[in-house]
Chains A and B, each alone.
Chain A
Amino acid sequence: MLKVDKVCTYYGKVMALHEVSFEIGQDEIVSIIGANGAGKSTLMKSIMGTVPIKSGSIQFEGKEISKQKPHVNVKNGIVYVPEGREIFPNLTVKENLEMGAFCRNYSSKKINELYEECYEMFPKLKERQKQQAGSLSGGEQQMLAIARGLMSEPKLIMFDEPSLGLAPVIVDEVFDIIVKLQQAKHIPVVLVEQNAFMALSISNRAYVLENGVVSLSGQSSELLNMPSVKEAYLGG
């Protein structure tokens, strides 16, 4: 589905990714774990086209997309729910959802069906649909960001640190929803996390990023039991 091959990305002269390769197939959850500053978000931005890559290739459904603009990638079905949610604070919850479908020319009937689908998955958003998104709690904003991402019916969805800054109970809820939506929609999900334990427990496969390099990859269940991973990412 998505194939990243030997991608190098620089910020000016500073290297952020070095020959990173990773792959995700139809119907799986793949997590990318790594410490703060390892290059996880940079990898996501490289895929989206938000930051240009220096070398390597990125293919989506067999087509090269490494030079494509972010808005084109979204239209082609790659949705990125960014770190820090980035909702539109001065729009209402419902307007935020509407913007999620901006790149599609859905009929109003279709849009309403999609709203209902979102509200079913996130009942809290329904209660707050007329509220300004900026007034939601952190957890609710994350739910909104996820729901907004689903509005354009993506073929692939990528979550960047969805658990960041949330209370532990809410974190459970967010991961629960990610698993549920993957099971319901059967789309590939990329999950970027510093919360390695959670990410490894819900994903099929995982990659470990360290200083811009993939240092380890494999089945999540195997990584969970590796001493080196345990020590570095799971608190020993």
Chain B
Amino acid sequence: MISTATLVQAIVSGIAMGLIYSLVGIEYTLIWNTTGMLNFAHGKVITFCGYLFGALCLKQMGLPLVWSLILALVLAAILALLMSSSIFIPLRTKDNLCCILATVMAGKILYEAMRLIWGAFNVGIDNYFPGTINIFGATLPATYIYVLAIAFVMVVALQIFLNKTKIGKGMKCVSQNKNAASLMGINVTRYMRIATILSFVVCCFLSILLIPLITLSKEMAEMIALKGFAAGIVGGFGLIPGCTVGGVILGVVENLACIVIPSGYKDVVAFVLLIGFLLIKPSGILGKKAK
């Protein structure tokens, strides 16, 4: 018999991880929607931001958490400007293969840069979300609650930002019709830059949520990056609410599945779900029928 405690733990940590997948989904969808390019470097961007925050700001510079966060965000924004000006904006009209290669190579450059700057080994960082918490008789690391709360606030804040603010509405128009957007007086390339900055800011927050969960290493975001893609497919590709729903479903389903199947197969669940959706409903849960 499965105890309530196991169930609660699976669901809470599942939602926490799920919201992380949602944020990954949102992060690459922002760039996809505005520039039409898939950022295959996004896992490396998350990791790089993690190193900026954890290795550079916290460890080497010894800054307090908040200042580390602020400095890491600023550096992430600079990286976003560099990558949007050199890759996303100039290459978006070139052929697909060129776009894919450019972002893959950018990821490689980030990876090698991390290896050169911070060495080959993992960096130990004290858990800044410490403690445990008790819900319905289940004892959980408080990390999950912090991650869940922060990720939830971010998801909600992003939805509000994208739907209610002028910048968000401009981005929406750019993603629906670039020509019409420019005829509304929208500076389309500037909005591509803004979307990339927002995307990298989300990456930065993601890395900060991930460090206490999986420690800071150069491979820390590999699996998460893939599952973020899966979240987009499950929820509806190119749709911000779709990514959110898809991510949470993915996180909860894979954790619940692990109650009945050996947890070594956990990662398989997400990809089975991904392939299932690609075969049966490729437009995803919230997606309209493909035309």
Interface check B183, CB cutoff 8 A: yes
Interface check A102, CB cutoff 8 A: yes
Contact A91/B182 with A69-B187, A71-B188, A86-B177 known, Cβ cut-off 8 Å: no
Interface of B is mostly: helix
B182 touches A50 (CB 8 A): yes
B170 touches A71 (CB 8 A): no
B169 touches A98 (CB 8 A): yes
B172 touches A91 (CB 8 A): yes
A103 touches B179 (CB 8 A): no
Assembled-state Cα–Cα distance A148/B179 (Å): 15
Interface code A69-109, partner B: CB below 8 Å = 1, 0 otherwise?
A: 11100110001101000111111000100111011000000
Interface check A66, CB cutoff 8 A: no
- Which residue of the partner chain A has the closest CB to B179? A86
Contact A102/B184 with A88-B173, A90-B176 known, Cβ cut-off 8 Å: yes
B186 touches A71 (CB 8 A): yes
Interface check B180, CB cutoff 8 A: yes
Assembled-state Cα–Cα distance A23/B183 (Å): 21
Residue from A50, A98, A99 in contact with B179 in the complex, judged by beta carbons closer than 8 Å: A50
B177 touches A88 (CB 8 A): yes
Residue from B173, B180, B185 in contact with A82 in the complex, judged by beta carbons closer than 8 Å: B180
User: What residues of chain B lie closer than 8 Å to A95, measured between beta carbons?
Assistant: 169
Interface check A46, CB cutoff 8 A: no
A74 touches B184 (CB 8 A): yes
CB distance from A158 to the nearest CB of B (A): 10
Contacts between chains A and B (CB distance < 8 A), count: 56
Interface check A220, CB cutoff 8 A: no
A87 touches B180 (CB 8 A): yes
- Which residue of the partner chain B has the closest CB to A100? B184
CB distance from A202 to the nearest CB of B (A): 23
B179 touches A82 (CB 8 A): yes
A74 touches B180 (CB 8 A): no
B177 touches A71 (CB 8 A): no
Assembled-state Cα–Cα distance A86/B173 (Å): 11
Assembled-state Cα–Cα distance A82/B182 (Å): 11
Interface check A152, CB cutoff 8 A: yes
Assembled-state Cα–Cα distance A70/B170 (Å): 15
CB distance from A80 to the nearest CB of B (A): 6
A99 touches B182 (CB 8 A): no
Residue from B166, B172, B176, B185 in contact with A71 in the complex, judged by beta carbons closer than 8 Å: B185
A70 touches B169 (CB 8 A): no
CB distance from B166 to the nearest CB of A (A): 8
Give the contacts of A33-66 with B (CB-CB under 8 A): 48, 50
Contact A70/B183 with A91-B172, A99-B169, A99-B173 known, Cβ cut-off 8 Å: yes
User: What residues of chain B lie closer than 8 Å to A86, measured between beta carbons?
Assistant: 177, 179-180, 183
User: What residues of chain A lie closer than 8 Å to B177, measured between beta carbons?
Assistant: 86, 88
A82 touches B183 (CB 8 A): yes
Interface code B82-113, partner A: CB below 8 Å = 1, 0 otherwise?
A: 00000000000000000000000000000000
Assembled-state Cα–Cα distance A35/B186 (Å): 31
CB distance from B147 to the nearest CB of A (A): 32
User: What residues of chain B lie closer than 8 Å to A79, measured between beta carbons?
Assistant: 183
User: What residues of chain B lie closer than 8 Å to A88, measured between beta carbons?
Assistant: 172-173, 176-177, 180
Q: Offer 8 A-B interface pairs, CB within 8 angstroms, sorted by A.
A: A48-B183, A71-B182, A79-B183, A86-B177, A98-B169, A99-B184, A100-B184, A103-B184
Instruction: Point out residues on B near A: beta carbons under 8 Å.
Output: 166, 169-170, 172-173, 176-177, 179-180, 182-188
